[in-house]
Structure formats: structure tokens, C-alpha cells
Structure 1
Amino acid sequence: MCLFSAKCTSEARLDSKTAVITGANTGIGKCTVQDFYTRGCRVVMACRDVEKAKQAVNEIKDACKNLENLGTILVIRLDLSSLQSVRACAEQLLKSEERIHLLINNAGVMMCPESRTEDGFETQLGTNHLGHFLFTMLLLPRICHSAPARIVNVSSMAHDSIRIDLGDLNWEKKTYNTLSSYRQSKLANILFTKELASKLEERGVSGVTTYALHPGVIQTDLWRHLKSSFWVITLLLRIFSWTIKTPLQGAQTTIYCAVDENCADQSGLYYAECAEKEPSESALNEEDAKGLWDLSWKMVGLDQQYDPFFTPAK
């Protein structure tokens, strides 16, 4: 257990609010669901494995059985490595949810072996960035309609010391490197957060704020590929176990960005330990952020005429 970990101290309630959380059946996603549930929120868990998600719901409800003023939890299927699944999930949510006040883009894969999604994207890029990019764009009109609303993207300190490669974002020309691919996907999360904040401001959309964050080093299922491929990682995890967070500790900055009053008017920034932090120089590159946005739009097949910032009359 990490000996030094910030905690979100906000007691804000989420009664009558709806949150969508991706990858929510385990790790920090599951802890985020439980926190929102205790605040009275209607939480939609968007997960690839529906049966595991339902099991997680039962575990959360059992843990909270003696509490009052709880919310509700629903499960919906979402496979971020499939654009068809992303579109189907978004369509279902737009039919079932009149408001979406919180979107927590939490799901991800970490340093997996080289592989491709069903749409031909490098797996880490496709899952960590492109799937969430499309999901957010499809839900954005509803989110804007629900303002005040927040969009929280779980990134990582691993984004440091790398620049986004817009010339070969999909790893089709250069030799694949699993660590560099992961780092680039996490950098993409921050650049997307910043550019989305800029475009919301440009379009005059008020009350919708965006956040990117580093949750900390956490012992979760994300480590499974590292442990099997890099023995040194296993050794380091044992040596520095006192710096590794529990999932509950790791969820605190996500929760902070989603509910805390102190950051309600902030947008497009990067956080760690429940406070604003300066990201890498590459994460502040406005030209790269715009280029990534345009390239991502094309890669996921969004129509050039589609306007995600359209806000119907409330």
C-alpha cells in the first residue's frame, strides 16, 4: 500500500446525476463506481465483459448494504477495441439516458503484445485513445445538453518524454515498441483533453469541463502483460511496493476531477494526487493537439458534417 496518497475530501452529492464509466468492473474504475453510488448517482458501467460487470455490481451493493441514500447501477456492453461496439453502446445510451453529467474514460490496456483491433488499429492506440475519442464525440451532444457536466480522461505519467507521431500514429512504418506505444496512447489522452476544452470554448459551450489525470502506480490487472514479459518489472514491484497504490487510492484523483468543487471551473488541465500538475512539454503542444484531433476524426470515420457541439434546446 502506498504510504503517500492524496484523498478526495469533497462530500458533494450526485443525486439526480448520471455518470458513464468505461472499464468499470475492476480496479480504479470499480472503486469510482462505488464512490459515485454512495453519493446517490445513477452509474452506468460500460464494460467489455458484462458478466464480470454484473458480479462487480453485486460486490459493490454488498459492500454498501448498510448505507443510505444510495444511487443505482446499470451495466452496458462496450468493447473499445471495436468501433462498431462503441457506436452501438453510444446509441443505446442516447436512447436510455436523458442526461449524462459525467463521462469517465477509464478503461485501457497496458503494454500488451503487438496486435490490431478489428478495425486495424494498433491495440493500445485503438483502445486507450481512438475508442474513447469516438465514444466521447458520439455522447458529447447529450453531455453538452446536461451541463454542468465533466469529462474525465484517465491518462498516466508514462506520457512524459515522448512526442505524438502523427506521421505514423498507427505503427505501420516503424518497428513496434510496446512501451512507446503505451506512452503515446497516454499522451494522446492529454492532448485530446486539452483540444476538447479548446473547442468547447471556441464553440461557446459553457458548463462542460475536461480533465486528464495520472492515477498513480496501481496494482491492477493492467500489469498482467508486463509481469509475463519483463521479469525486472516484477522485481521492481516487490522492491518499491510501498509506493504502489491500492485501487481505492488510485481512484482518488479521478473522483476529485469528477466531483470536487475546487476544480469545477477548470478545463483542459492535467492532475495527479488530487491537484493540478504540469504535464510534459509534448502534452502542451497545441499544434500536435489539433493534428491529433483531425487525424483521430478521420480514423474513426466521423462524418465531416457531424457537429458534436450541437446543443438542443433544454
Structure 2
Amino acid sequence: MWVTVAWAAMCLLLALVVVMFVCGFIYRLRVAVVPFEKNMKGKTVIITGASAGIGKEAARDMARRGARVILACRNLVKAGRVADEIQTSTGNCAVLVRQLDTSSLASVRSFAAKILAEETRLDVLVLNAGIAAFKERTVTSDGLELTMVTNHFGHFLLANLLLGLLKSSSPSRIVITASTSHRLARKIDPQVLNFENGNYLSIAAYCQSKACNILVTRHLADILSGTGVTVNSLCPGFVRTEIFEKSNNIAAQAQYYVAPILGKTVEQGAQTIVHLAVSEEGGTTTGQFFENCKVSNRLTSMVSDASLAKKVWETSESCVGLKPEEQHF
């Protein structure tokens, strides 16, 4: 009897694996690919979190198109190796590294100050760095919850600090990596974005940070109306990246091992970032959420709420201590 049960279980497991491989194969077949004929010569691009995953592949793609690419990364040694690799593989020597840790507001301000001192133009700002939430709530030296500041507040501050340069460089673009996991964030209270009320859950923190990415995209698009600067958010899809590997959350770690079977390659995951950075649509459409290189309608009513977007924006200004001289709108 036990032999029969074991055999049945083995057959069921094998069938499940086969189904997963087939689903993954079909998923990858449906990925949109950005045509290569669109070049970016003369353009300057900043990509946060560009030392691995989709950020690295987006940087490689844009370098191959002739852009001057600035890798904004926390680990300079790792980023330096990536820059060398991209230069070698693309033949483009204009791939630079600058230090940025989006979990530190001081690092964000230092990075922005360096960019404003060194750069005369900025054509594309890709806000891509992120982490998967940890099991326990962690607060940074700025008093901000780690997931929220890394994925949302740090990028919110950086976008504000560089808005003046983006506006003077128009037409220009802001591209924000969000996620369809925002759909799991059922409710956002703008007054407790850092989970001060004790209701912290790792999945809630991650999904809320991604929802805030989309809400800020929509509000910022309204603020920038008529300036020549577009801002759009996106979901890269299901991709195996370090964001899952580095988390101590069991669900995130499980995704890391399943993603190679069910998910996209990192090159495929980077395509929507590249689309928004180089396509005509990315330069004319603003305030939208994209999946697979096209506008998505898979948004919850919550992230489509203009009133909530404004409140999240205002709370974010307070949380990062945005100063009058840092406002460029």
C-alpha cells in the first residue's frame, strides 16, 4: 500500500513540475521585446539598483543603445564590476558608478547633490532599487520602516531633488518600478505609512510600498503636467532576482527558487523599463501603470484614488523632511 501511495505522490509531483515548466515556457513566449533600432545617443540615464537583476539588464540595454548610463548603487565594488562588464559587452565606455543607498535619506541627498554638481542634463531617471520585506519590522536611523524607505521614501525624495534638472532637460522621463503585488494592499492609511500602529506584516509592507510607488506616479504626473517630463510606473513581471534571495521572508525565498521555472529571465523583466525609457509612448504617455510594455488595467480602485495619492504625497513630504528649496514644482 505504501509503495502505491509513494508512486502516486511521485507521479503527481512529476506532473506538477511538467505543468510548471509548460506554464513558464508560455509566459516567457508572451514577453514583449523592445526593438533595438531606437538609440539613446546623447542621453543621460540614471538607474537605481543597477548592480543586479532587471536594473543591471536595463542599464546594459541602454548602454548598448549609446546612452550615458549612471549606475546608482549601494555597493560600489559590486557596481564597479557590473560597470566594467557592461562596458565590455556593449563597447560603451560611458557607464559610470555613483553611490546611493535609498534606505538612507542622507545618502539620497548626497547622491543628488553630486549629480546636480556634475551633470548638465538628465533625460531618464529610473527608480528601480528595492527590497523584499523582512519578517521583523526594522526602523532606520531616519525613523522610517526599512521596506518603505528603500522602495518608496528614498525614491520619492530623489525624484523631488532631481526634478529641476529633469525639467530643464525636457523632454525627459521618470520610470518607477512598482508591482502588481500592490493589489494585495487592501487599505493604506496615509498617517501610518511606517506601520507605527503595530500592524506590521512583511507582505503588507512590500505591497504597500509598491502601491505607494503607483500613487506617487499618478500625483507626480499631475504636478508635472505641461513640463515635458513624463512619469510612469511598471510591473516587470515574475523574475528571479536578488530581491527574493536576500529576504529572510520564507515566501520571498520560495519565489526565488520557483521563478526560474515559472518566471521571466532578467533580460525579459527589464523590457518594460526599457520601453518606457526609449519608446515614443514613454515620452508621451504619463501617469500610467505598464505591464509587458503596454498600459495595464490591472489597478485597484485604491491606487487610482487621486485624493489618496495626494495624501500619500503630503505624508511622504513630511516623512523625508522635504525642504522648500528641495521642491521644484
Q: TM-score, normalised by structure 2?
A: 0.87
Shift of 1:32: 0.8
Would you say the 8 A contact 2:245–2:256 is kept in 1?
A: no
Give a deviation string over 1:110-157, Cα, whole Å, max 9, x none. Answer: 122321122111111011000000001000000000001000000001
- Is 1:303 aligned with 2:323? yes
Instruction: Determine the structure 2 residue equivalent to 1:42.
Output: 68
Paired-residue identity, %? 36
Would you say the 8 A contact 1:81–1:126 is kept in 2?
A: yes
Question: For residues 56 and 111 of structure 2, what CA distance do their matches in structure 1 show?
Answer: 19
Q: 1:265 to 1:236 in 2, by over 3 A?
A: closer
Shift of 1:306: 4.6
Would you say the 8 A contact 1:253–1:272 is kept in 2?
A: yes
Q: 1:28 to 1:141 in 2, by over 3 A?
A: same
Instruction: Determine the structure 2 residue equivalent to 1:89.
Output: 111
Instruction: Determine the structure 2 residue equivalent to 1:51.
Output: 77
Instruction: Determine the structure 1 residue equivalent to 2:167.
Output: 144
Shift of 1:71: 5.7
Would you say the 8 A contact 1:23–1:46 is kept in 2?
A: yes
Of 88, 103, 118, the residue aligned with 1:62 is: 88
The structure richer in helix per residue is 2
Shift of 1:231: 6.4
- Is 1:124 aligned with 2:144? no
- Is 1:76 aligned with 2:101? no
Of 160, 168, 174, the residue aligned with 2:192 is: 168
CA RMSD of aligned residues (A): 1.8
Question: For residues 85 and 229 of structure 1, what CA distance do their matches in structure 2 show?
Answer: 26
Q: 1:273 to 1:87 in 2, by over 3 A?
A: same
Please give the secondary structure, in 1, of the residue aligned with 2:115.
helix
Give a deviation string over 1:208-234, Cα, whole Å, max 9, x none. Answer: 1001000011101111255x5426962
Please give the secondary structure, in 2, of the residue aligned with 1:118.
coil
Q: Write the letter of the residue equivalent to 1:129.
A: H
- Which is higher, the Rg of structure 1 or of structure 2? 2
Shift of 1:200: 1.1
Shift of 1:99: 0.1
Instruction: Determine the structure 2 residue equivalent to 1:312.
Output: none
Structure 2: stretches of 5+ with no match in the other structure: 1-23
Give a deviation string over 1:76-118, Cα, whole Å, max 9, x none. Answer: 0001111111000000000010000100001001122321122
Instruction: Determine the structure 2 residue equivalent to 1:284.
Output: 304
Please give the secondary structure, in 1, of the residue aligned with 2:191.
coil
Would you say the 8 A contact 1:99–1:145 is kept in 2?
A: yes
Question: For residues 32 and 187 of structure 1, what CA distance do their matches in structure 2 show?
Answer: 22
Instruction: Determine the structure 1 residue equivalent to 2:53.
Output: 27
Would you say the 8 A contact 2:129–2:151 is kept in 1?
A: yes
Of 234, 246, 267, the residue aligned with 2:265 is: 246
Please give the secondary structure, in 1, of the residue aligned with 2:95.
strand
Q: 1:33 to 1:95 in 2, by over 3 A?
A: same
Question: For residues 136 and 262 of structure 1, what CA distance do their matches in structure 2 show?
Answer: 21
Give a deviation string over 1:238-262, Cα, whole Å, max 9, x none. Answer: 3x74431111010000000111113
Q: TM-score, normalised by structure 1?
A: 0.91
Give a deviation string over 1:289-308, Cα, whole Å, max 9, x none. Answer: 00011111111111246531
Q: 1:173 to 1:13 in 2, by over 3 A?
A: same
Instruction: Determine the structure 2 residue equivalent to 1:192.
Output: 216
Give a deviation string over 1:134-185, Cα, whole Å, max 9, x none. Answer: 0010000000000010000000010014232213111111321000000000
Question: For residues 86 and 235 of structure 2, what CA distance do their matches in structure 1 show?
Answer: 24
- Is 1:103 aligned with 2:122? no
Of 245, 263, 275, the residue aligned with 1:256 is: 275
Q: 1:291 to 1:232 in 2, by over 3 A?
A: closer
